[in-house]
Amino acid sequence: MVQQHSDGATFCATLVDEWIALGLKHAVVAPGSRSTPLAVALAGRYEIDVHVFHDERSAAFCALGIGVATGIPAVVLCTSGTAATHFHAAVVEAGLSLVPMIVCTADRPPELHGVGAPQTIDQQELYGSAVRDFINVEPQSSADAPSWRGIAQSAWSTSLASHNPGPVHLNLGFREPLVGTAGDLPPRGEVSSRQDVRVHLDSSIGPLLKSTRGVVVAGEGIADFDVASEWLGRLGWPIIADPRSGLRVLDDRLPHAPIISATDPILRSNVLQDRLRPDVILRIGEPPVSKVVNAWLAQSKATYIAVSRRPVVTDPDRVVTHSVTGPIEATLAAIGEVVGCPDEQWLASWVAAETIARTVIDESMSGAALHEAKVAHLLVDQLGDDTAFVVSSSMPVRDVEWFGGRRNDLRVLSNRGANGIDGVIATSIGVALGSREPVSVLIGDVALVHDSSSLVNIVDHAVDLHIVLIDNRGGGIFSFLPQAEALENDQFEKLFGTPHSTDFAALCKAHGIEYHEVDSEERLIEVSLRDGVRLSHVRTDRAQNVEIHRQLNDAVVSALEAAFSTGG
């Protein structure tokens, strides 16, 4: 069938052409009619991998995962109306996590607004402050062509801004007919990709780094391991390393600064809290997950320096005394050469505490039945060097932080911008598509039920994805909270435990996913070594899980206090 040239098609083809020139590799599309011009333009270019999801929420979280894996924005597209509202959760996460994303929502033309036209809502600034910019584009004509590449360039550069990357929302109005062919595209001009990286440094920070009792808290946000590790090695302070920091490495990778991975269990000891109290805290990146660690940092009354790539430093406890914002590696360079002079006894105490805690944890895991903490410990230890490890919020990310240990070359990712459990599977698919590497995801049953729509057609994405499901038939984290003791069991179960009857074997069968019932360490490792999309189903008990965590922490505290009471 012969199609006529369309200004809408030419406009969309121009946007796509410009984005390809700037580096676009992936687009995620949720099907719909009003978005036809841009969907066709994206699908018509071999340079772009187009991924289709039935559910807009899944599509947006997949785009988020691609941005996390690559640092390059994916385009995510939907039709008009409530479809656009389903992007919101992923847009919020991208905004808070500084993940680039180009969010494109199709819209009805102005004459169809306010008159009751179907599938028409107010999409102006729909995502509020979650986006770095909102660009509204009315239906285009050839007279507007000189501005088209500028629209694409503006969205791209803002999304990738070095000081504050994140999502940009383009709301694109289209009139019918929605199907047509593109005419000649306006020519490309010169585009500058240079961005000034400026770090405003408080001159008082340098002298503070001469403290003999300083501690580094390394969180998510470190992009260049070599730069950070070299600088931190010269400083020589103990490093409390969040698993997402990339710094939970073995001594051969960072020999001149002790890495502390068991900080949460260590600081459950009052003796160690006092013994290890610092004078200066240098936090690089985002805060750790652990409430125990954050409370100890807040109560230490130490001088607290926060280095963050965010424009506004994260400081919920209001304890940061000095802050520097900007790319972390540029900030470390601006601080300049450091030669630390940590107290040797101070360092020895940290090293001894880490050694004792890790020994107790590792010995407790050896030979034990497969429980939730052991699964986290085992995956960190056994995953391949080329595998990305996506960890759901709630208990999985805590178990990895508390018990995961140290190893080289493991990339740990988690949606900790808004800390929600939504979109974990879709994010993992995006990470796999963007990285083109194997991905393992550790997820709880409630989070998987919440994101089960992302399983639709999952095998068609041709990813190597191992879903490790911790199934305690409900919201396991609530069993650790005061609600569990304050409420009657029936009330607690109804409001917080939230048991369900999902048949995960049947769910996997419905979506063509390889299903494995796993009840041993050997079986979990065996399934991990397979290819394709598969799910390991690990059944646990919420009450037993609380008791196992208590026993693990008590064992660490007892060993530490016994050692340090005898002069350790």
Within a domain: residue 523?
yes
Decide: residue 511, CB within 10 A, 0-12 exposed, 13-18 middle, 19+ buried: middle
In a domain, 136, yes or no: yes
Task: Tell whether 197 is covered by a domain.
Answer: no
Instruction: Examine the fold and report which residue of 124, 150, 173 is the final residue of a domain before the chain moves on.
Output: 173
Say if residue 525 is in the same domain as residue 403: yes
Residues 500-516 have a mean pLDDT of 97
409 lies in the same domain as 535: yes
Contacts of 94 (CB under 8 A, 6+ apart): 64, 67, 100, 101, 130, 166, 167, 417
The Cα 295–Cα 277 span in angstroms is: 12
> Across the strands, what pairs with 240?
217, 260
User: 342 versus 277: which is more confidently predicted?
Assistant: 277
Residue type (1 letter), 253: R
Q: So what's the pLDDT on residue 17?
A: 97
User: In terms of domains, do 92 and 210 share one?
Assistant: no
The region that residue 150 occupies, defined by phi over 0 for left and psi between -120 and 50 for alpha, beta otherwise, is alpha
Structure tokens belonging to residue 211 = 């403290």
Q: How far is CA 262 from CA 61, 400, 408, in A?
A: 31, 10, 16
Q: How far apart are CA 156 and CA 73, in angstroms?
A: 8
Q: Domain check: are 288 and 384 in the same one?
A: no
* Contact in structure between 365 and 382 (CB atoms under 8 Å): no
- Residue 397's CATH number: 3.40.50.970
Determine the distance from the C-alpha atom of residue 312 to the mean position of all C-alpha atoms in its chain, rounded to a whole number.
18
Q: Would the pLDDT of 1 be above 60?
A: no
**pLDDT given at position 535:** 98
pLDDT at 200: 62
Phi, psi of 539 (to 5 degrees): -90, 135
- Total domain count for the chain? 3
Query: Do both 14 and 118 map to the same domain?
Result: yes
**Residue pair 249/407 in contact by the 8 Å Cβ criterion:** yes
pLDDT value of residue 547: 94
13: containing domain: 7-173
Nearest to 96 by CA among 27, 198, 165, 171: 165
pLDDT score of 334 more than 80? no
pLDDT at res. 196: 57
Q: Is the pLDDT of residue 192 over 80?
A: no
CATH of the domain at 240: 3.40.50.1220
By percentage, how much of the chain surpasses pLDDT 90? 73
Q: In this structure, are 295 and 410 located in the same domain?
A: no
Q: How confident is the model at residue 494 (pLDDT cuts 50, 70, 90)?
A: confident
pLDDT of residue 173: 95
Average pLDDT, the chain: 92
Quote the pLDDT of residue 194: 57
Same domain, 73 and 144: yes
- The answer on 34 and 131 residing in a single domain is yes
Instruction: Give me the mean pLDDT over the 330-340 stretch.
Output: 77
Phi, psi torsion values for 144, nearest 5 degrees: -90, -5
Residue 199 confidence class, pLDDT cut points 50, 70, 90: low
Whether 190 is in a domain gets the answer no
For the residues 129-137, what does the mean pLDDT come to? 96
Question: What is the structure's pLDDT at 234?
Answer: 86
In this structure, the answer to whether residues 112 and 210 fall within a common structural domain is no
380-434 pLDDT, tens digit each: 999 988 899 999 998 999 999 999 989 888 999 999 999 999 999 999 999 999 9
> What pLDDT is stored for residue 197 in this prediction?
59
Do 326 and 440 fall into the same domain?
Answer: no
Of the candidates 437, 436, 442, which has an alpha carbon nearest to the alpha carbon of residue 415?
442
Question: How many whole angstroms separate alpha carbon 133 and alpha carbon 125?
Answer: 9
Token representation of residue 27 = 């687009």
Check residue 245 and give its pLDDT.
92
pLDDT of residue 204: 81
* Residues 391, 335 share a domain: no
Residue 2 has pLDDT above 70, yes or no: no
| Residue 23 belongs to a domain | yes
Q: Report the range of poorest mean pLDDT among 199-208, 269-278, 280-289, 521-530.
A: 199-208
pLDDT at 335: 78
Q: What pLDDT is recorded for position 324?
A: 87
Cα torsion angle, 156, 157, 161, 162, sign: positive
pLDDT tens track for 54-89? 999 999 999 999 999 999 999 999 999 999 999 999
Q: What is the pLDDT of residue 95?
A: 97
Burial group, residue 447, by CB count within 10 angstroms (0-12, 13-18, 19+): buried
Distance CA 453, CA 457 (A): 9
Does some domain include residue 356?
A: no
Last residue of a domain, one of 117, 151, 173: 173
- Phi-psi category of 211—alpha, beta or left, where left has phi over 0 and alpha has psi -120 to 50? beta
Is 229's pLDDT higher than 60? yes
One domain, residues 325 and 400? no
